[in-house]
Amino acid sequence: MSEYASTHAADPDQIPRFAVFGSPIAHSRSPLIHRRFGEESGIALNYTAVECRAGELDAALAKFVHAGGRGANITMPHKFDALAACAAVSDRARRAGVVNTLRRDGDAWFGDNTDGSGLINDIAERHRIDLRSRRVLILGAGGAAQGVLPAVFDSGVDSIVICNRTPDRADRLADLIGEPTRVRTVYWDDLRDAGMFDLIINATSAGHGQGMMDLPFSLAGRRTVAYDLSYGTAALAFLAWARAAHCEHALDGLGMLVEQAADSFEVWHGIRPDTEAVYRELRAGA
């Protein structure tokens, strides 16, 4: 149980502060999720969403610490900068090279990454999908793709192909794993000839903008699992493509969101909350 549990609950100024930093952040469900986890676990906490544009993370974190900040989630576009802000990181964050969870230890940040465990938990535990021997396509090479790549690689898949609008970033991501026979890249224009995949992960932020990605139906078959890390309206276009391509599963990232949050909660408070109730609440449209 957390050192913070109940001890400060009576005085609002003493309640430990947590926050998610990113841009755009208005859509974030993290404050609701962590409030529910706190209620379920009997841990008093104050969790807010902080709009923070590219290049502003260090200043925002300094202000947050001054106000009593104890832990933070980091989302796009700051996951690379968050690593640089840490004095120490977990093995999984070091391997991923990006951080989505910060914990204040003394006068420095400890960094972790729970995106990969959150994704694998959602696919393998909630949706009961066996990832072993799957051919995987990852679309995107930003902070989220980088965060989940080592966990996807470790989950027993056969191979991973990475495709990104900016090809250099895909190459750098593949090099991170350093297993060229199992992790390679493909140009977007060559996707038509890339064959069929058993799992297609959309780790782009394309759904947050106007344009729909140009994806050939030849990528998917009736056994394909299509998974968009985004959720809500940002996931609609990719999931519509997946259904039109007759994928077996078309899943959004809401379950991953809840699972990675539970893992972050454990990093801060030492216990992992049950995720099902808040997942159902969000799925019902909360």
Ligand X SMILES: NC(=O)c1ccc[n+]([C@@H]2O[C@H](COP(=O)([O-])OP(=O)(O)OC[C@H]3O[C@@H](n4cnc5c(N)ncnc54)[C@H](OP(=O)(O)O)[C@@H]3O)[C@@H](O)[C@H]2O)c1
| Residues annotated as part of the active site | 79
Q: Which C-beta is closer to ligand X: that of 69 or that of 143?
A: 143
Q: Which is nearer to ligand X, 85 or 257 (CB)?
A: 257
Binding track over 48-77 against ligand X, x by CB under 6 A: ----------------------------xx
Q: Which residue has the tokens 């998610």?
A: 20
Quick one: which segment of 2-10, 37-45, 165-173, 241-249 binds ligand X (CB under 6 A)?
165-173
* Interface with ligand X in residues 167-206 (CB under 6 A): 169, 203-206
Residue with token string 């408070």: 269
Decide: 93 and 203 in contact? Cβ < 8 Å: no
Q: Among 7, 14, 166, 233, which residue interacts with ligand X (rule: CB under 6 A)?
A: 166
- 3-state SS, 59-78, equals HHHHHHHHCCEEEEEECCCC
- Examine residue 26 and tell whether it contacts ligand X (CB under 6 A): no
Question: Rounded CA gap, 144 and 148, in Å?
Answer: 6
Q: Indicate whether 208 belongs to the interface with ligand X (CB under 6 A).
A: yes
Residue least distant from ligand X (Cβ): 142
CA distance 30 to 36: 10
- Give yes or no for residue 229 binding ligand X (CB under 6 A): yes
Q: How far is the CB of 119 from ligand X (least distance, A)?
A: 8
Q: Give CA separation, 1 vs 19, 113, 203, in Å.
A: 20, 21, 34
**Pairing outcome for strands 183-185 and 249-251:** unpaired
Q: Is 32 in the site for ligand X (CB under 6 A)?
A: no
List binders of ligand X among 135-154 (CB under 6 A): 140-145
Other Cβ atoms within 10 Å of 285 Cβ, number: 5
Q: Which stretch binds ligand X (CB under 6 A): 12-20, 37-45, 227-235, 262-270?
A: 227-235
The site map against ligand X for 230-269 (x = CB under 6 A) is xx--x------------------x--xx--x---------
Q: Let me know: does 273 contact 279? Beta carbons within 8 Å.
A: no
- Give the helix/strand (H/E) hosting 50: strand 46-51
Tokens of residue 255, six digits? 């379950």
The nearest distance, CB 23 to ligand X, in angstroms, is: 10
Q: Considering the complex, state which of residue 43 and residue 141 has its C-beta at the smaller distance from ligand X.
A: 141
Q: Quick check: 16 binds ligand X (CB under 6 A)? A: no
- Distance from CA of residue 2 to its chain's centroid? 24
Alpha helices in 4-120 (DSSP H): 30-41, 57-66, 79-84, 91-96, 115-120
* Tokens 């209620």, located at residue: 39
Residue ranges that bind ligand X, judged by CB under 6 A: 76-77, 79, 115, 118, 140-145, 164-166, 169, 203-206, 208-209, 211, 213, 229-231, 234, 253, 256-257, 260
